[in-house]
Amino acid sequence: SGCNLTSNVGARLSQIHLWQEVFYSYLGIPSDEEQATGLERKTLEAMKKGQDPYSILKPKGYAGTREDPHIVPSINKKRLVGCICEEDNSAVIWFWLHAGESQRCPSCGAHYKLVHHDVPH
């Protein structure tokens, strides 16, 4: 009876394998988007719409002026920010950025603005 069960399982697996070959030969292998679920699916759908819900992509460059401040997303009303005032500088100037008006780096004067950012999940 044990051999009979093993042969039935083996036959069933062969049928499934044959079905998969036929299915994928007609429809192709599903893409990442087609088989994504849950949080991965939400992220892929948002990215298709040009949104970046988890800040995966490099942020847009800002001039750092009063009219075009560096945008700093935060889920809180304040955030610690580090400014590298010059491109080849190895020192970081740290300061607290608070919600509201844009603030300036105490060393170089670059403008930063805290904006509220909701976590998408």
Higher pLDDT, 120 or 64: 64
CATH architecture of 70-116: Sandwich (2.60)
As given in the structure block, the two tokens for residue 39 are: 């949080």
Q: Could you read off the pLDDT of 33-48 as tens digits, one per residue? A: 888 999 889 888 888 8
C-alpha 36/C-alpha 43 separation (Å) is 10
53, pLDDT greater than 80:
no
C-alpha 15/C-alpha 34 separation (Å) is 24
Give the closest residue to 76 by CA, choosing from 118, 14, 18, 27. 118
The H or E element spanning position 60 is: none
54, pLDDT greater than 90:
no
As given in the structure block, the two tokens for residue 30 are: 């599903």
Q: Could you read off the pLDDT of 66-110 as tens digits, one per residue? A: 999 999 988 899 999 999 999 888 999 999 999 999 999 999 999
Residue 4's pLDDT band, with cuts at 50, 70 and 90, is low
Ordered strands of the 111-116 beta sheet:
70-74, 111-116, 103-104
The pLDDT of residue 89: 87
Could you state, in order of their start, the residue ranges of all structural domains in the chain?
Answer: 7-49, 70-116
Binding-site residue numbers are 83, 85, 105, 108
Residue found under tokens 């679920």: 37
The pLDDT of residue 70: 93
Binding-site residue numbers for Zn(2+) are 83, 85, 105, 108
